[in-house]
Amino acid sequence: MMKFELRCKQFLAGAAVLSTVVLAAAWVGRAANRAAQPAGPAVLTAMQAELDRSMAGLSKADPPVYFIRYTLSDRQYTQVSGSNGALLSSSEERSRWLEVQTRTGSYQLDNTHKLGDRPPSWTSPGATVALDDDIAVLRREIWRETDRQYRAAAQALIKVQTSQQVQVQTAESAAPDFSREEPHTFAGPLVEIHVDRTPWEERVRRYTAAFSQSTAVLNSIATFTALGANQYQVSSEGSRLAFGQVHYRLELYVQSKAPDGMDINRYANFDWLDPKDAPTEKAVFDAIHTMLRETEALDQAPLVDPYAGPALLTGRAAAVFFHEVFGHRAEGFRQKDISEGQTFTSKVGEKIMPEFISIKDDPTEARLGGQMLLGNYPFDDEGMPAQNVPLVENGVLKTFLMSRSPLINLPHSNGHGRRQLGYAPVARQGNLIVSSSRMVTNAQLRQQLIDMLKQKGLPYGLLIDDIAGGFTFTGRGQPQAFQVTPLVVYKVFADGRPDQLVRGVDIVGTPLVSLQNIVATGDTPEIFNGYCGAESGSVPVSAVSPAILISEMEFAKKETATDRPPILPPPAHDPEAQGAKP
């Protein structure tokens, strides 16, 4: 899912000169005030020294720079992957990535302004820099990248100014291109990871060998990843940040193919922050055995026809539903872009879902009920502190997730400017958390589904027990629709027959109708941890929700392959292959 935007006007030369003088004078004052601050790590020392020099010079250039931000990410990465009982890869690396943002023009109108209908580039050029803490070397690399980015920003501003004379201006295009914010200083703990890969190499062999015991499995992969990332950031506004984050993840994947050619995939993952919280062998093998049982059952499960009617989504499935259907449409930059569908732009203060539903996005929370939340961070990628943002209260839309790209009525960031390395930050979700004031037990929610089926005279409804993910279209060039991909779906019969596992459908629909059709929720929140891909790349997110009952939901046939399963069984399950001589 995705979409995009930029703007400017010609000013008198005198005004441009005045702004240059003011910028230069202000910068000299800031640099003097910082002289007494402790230098900190060599990286920060190099960044700050070059920032002071660049602002002093480039704020007098033509066109003048009004803002510079340096971000350096120092990352340690370890990955061990196995497949079908053997080791696929085992590696570790460390790298440093520098990103320089230079803005020419003014907060109101700068080089990032969207040019008409042309989609902007969401990539944020950067460079790999030295691992050594050599201040002179680091300053030289920062200097080279600053010069490159200033030249690009100067050229972009000329195009923006020219386009202003011929482009129609919309209400939201009158909003400033960049918000004015208070500077922040933070020195958090820096991190290092020390991973012995040998035990993990043996584990991924064992995990994937267990999958190979089933004749239904075509392929299996287990991947362990450890990431230690230290981020350093300085800006011309006076911000100075240094902090680290660690994340460990184990991902399990198994692939099968039904007799009719449909691909069957099952996933499981474990996330933790501290090595002592790694999953136990029992927990991992329990997940493997569950995946095997479900894979074998799905291989033989019947296809279900397209369906429209009552449906029950368990907590994880409901969490992805809210992430796709609501969360992306609450990202602030979409309200500014005229090529977006802007589903909720004019609905702040209006009821958009049942009054018993409230939603917040709170990246300050690291855990919920003892389980890690993947969308946690102390500062966003624009140097703004993470904030808890109440998006919906009692069904009423209150605000949007904001980066430093402001709206007319929302002039400031609320700490949600996020990006993958190499992309420009935009407003993105962190930890989207759904709560309800109309809760029943999950057993009662299931009974409500059955009662609803009887009232409507329907033979069955659908229960979505697990989900892979989904996507949504938010732009005007496509239908304003979403699609969520279930992994485990059951028919729940009105006459009390046992549930029947089925396959072959995706959840589809449009946001306004789907949200209004929620009639009740369960009382147990569940967490979906994953990575969300959008305009600013792939970022870690969490979505939390109780189970939900929806009075009317549409299911469409899933795309399927036509290739049949392999003609021969796997060698380990073929008596003739077992008897072959070496």
Quick: pLDDT tens for 379-393.
Answer: 999 999 999 999 999
Please count the other Cβ atoms lying within 10 Å of the Cβ belonging to residue 290: 13
What mean pLDDT comes out for the span 243-266?
95
Together in a domain, 514 and 369: yes
Residue-wise pLDDT tens digits, 540-576: 999 999 999 999 999 999 877 778 888 888 888 877 7
For the ranges 99-103, 244-248, 484-488, the lowest mean pLDDT is seen at 484-488
Residue-wise pLDDT tens digits, 414-439: 999 999 999 999 999 999 999 999 99
**Residue 328 DSSP code:** G
Residue-wise pLDDT tens digits, 182-232: 999 999 999 999 999 999 999 999 999 999 999 999 999 999 999 999 999
C-beta of residue 213 within 8 angstroms of C-beta of residue 160 = no
Q: How many domains does the chain have?
A: 2
Instruction: Report the alpha-carbon distance of residue 327 to residue 432 in Å, rounded.
Output: 7
Say what the pLDDT of residue 121 is.
60
Give 19's pLDDT tier (boundaries 50, 70, 90). very low
C-beta of residue 340 within 8 angstroms of C-beta of residue 172 = no
Say what the pLDDT of residue 568 is.
83
For the ranges 49-63, 354-368, 413-427, 560-574, the lowest mean pLDDT is seen at 560-574
**Is 123 part of any domain?**
yes
- Identify the three-state secondary structure at position 247: strand
**Residue 408 DSSP code:** S
Together in a domain, 336 and 474: yes
Total number of residues shown for the chain: 582
What mean pLDDT comes out for the span 458-465?
97
Residue-wise pLDDT tens digits, 66-112: 999 999 999 999 999 999 999 999 999 999 999 999 999 999 999 99
- Which is it for the CA torsion 194, 198, 203, 204, positive or negative? positive
**Is 121 part of any domain?**
yes
What does pTM read for this prediction?
0.89
Instruction: Report the alpha-carbon distance of residue 311 to residue 289 in Å, rounded.
Output: 27
Please count the other Cβ atoms lying within 10 Å of the Cβ belonging to residue 151: 11
Return phi, psi of residue 375, to 5°: -90, 20
From 134, 162, 180, give the residue that closes a domain.
180
**Residue 15 DSSP code:** H
**Is 490 part of any domain?**
yes
Instruction: Report the alpha-carbon distance of residue 266 to residue 581 in Å, rounded.
Output: 35
Instruction: Look up the domain containing 340 and give its range.
Output: 307-557
Instruction: Report the alpha-carbon distance of residue 473 to residue 537 in Å, rounded.
Output: 16
Together in a domain, 325 and 468: yes
| 31 pLDDT above the threshold of 50 | no
- Identify the three-state secondary structure at position 526: strand
Give 142's pLDDT tier (boundaries 50, 70, 90). very high
From 180, 201, 231, give the residue that closes a domain.
180
For the ranges 120-129, 352-361, 527-536, 554-563, the lowest mean pLDDT is seen at 120-129
Find tokens 């929302």 and name the residue. 410
C-beta of residue 437 within 8 angstroms of C-beta of residue 288 = no
| 178 pLDDT above the threshold of 70 | yes
Residue-wise pLDDT tens digits, 506-517: 999 888 899 999
pLDDT > 70 fraction of the chain, expressed in percent and rounded = 86
For the ranges 81-95, 100-114, 121-135, 161-175, the lowest mean pLDDT is seen at 161-175
Together in a domain, 311 and 176: no
User: Residue 301: in which H helix or E strand, if any?
Assistant: none
Together in a domain, 174 and 319: no
Instruction: Report the alpha-carbon distance of residue 553 to residue 309 in Å, rounded.
Output: 5
Pairing of strands 537-545, 431-436: parallel
Say what the pLDDT of residue 574 is.
72
Say what the pLDDT of residue 510 is.
85
* CA-wise closest residue to 186 among 243, 238, 231: 243
**Is 119 part of any domain?**
yes
Residue-wise pLDDT tens digits, 496-544: 999 999 999 999 988 889 999 999 999 999 999 999 998 899 999 999 9
Start-to-end CA distance of the chain, whole Å, equals 52
Say what the pLDDT of residue 343 is.
67
Pairing of strands 240-257, 185-187: parallel
Report the C-alpha dihedral over residues 460, 463, 468, 473, rounded to 10 degrees.
70
Amino acid at 431: N
What mean pLDDT comes out for the span 40-57?
94
Instruction: Report the alpha-carbon distance of residue 573 to residue 311 in Å, rounded.
Output: 39
Instruction: Report the alpha-carbon distance of residue 455 to residue 333 in Å, rounded.
Output: 43
From 147, 180, 213, give the residue that closes a domain.
180
- Which is it for the CA torsion 426, 427, 431, 434, positive or negative? negative
Together in a domain, 481 and 332: yes
Give 38's pLDDT tier (boundaries 50, 70, 90). very low
**Is 66 part of any domain?**
yes
Together in a domain, 390 and 537: yes
Amino acid at 417: G
**Is 430 part of any domain?**
yes
Together in a domain, 531 and 385: yes
**Is 300 part of any domain?**
no
| 165 pLDDT above the threshold of 70 | no
**Is 285 part of any domain?**
no
Q: Say how far residue 231 (Cα) sits from the centre of its chain.
A: 18
Say what the pLDDT of residue 255 is.
96
Please count the other Cβ atoms lying within 10 Å of the Cβ belonging to residue 273: 14
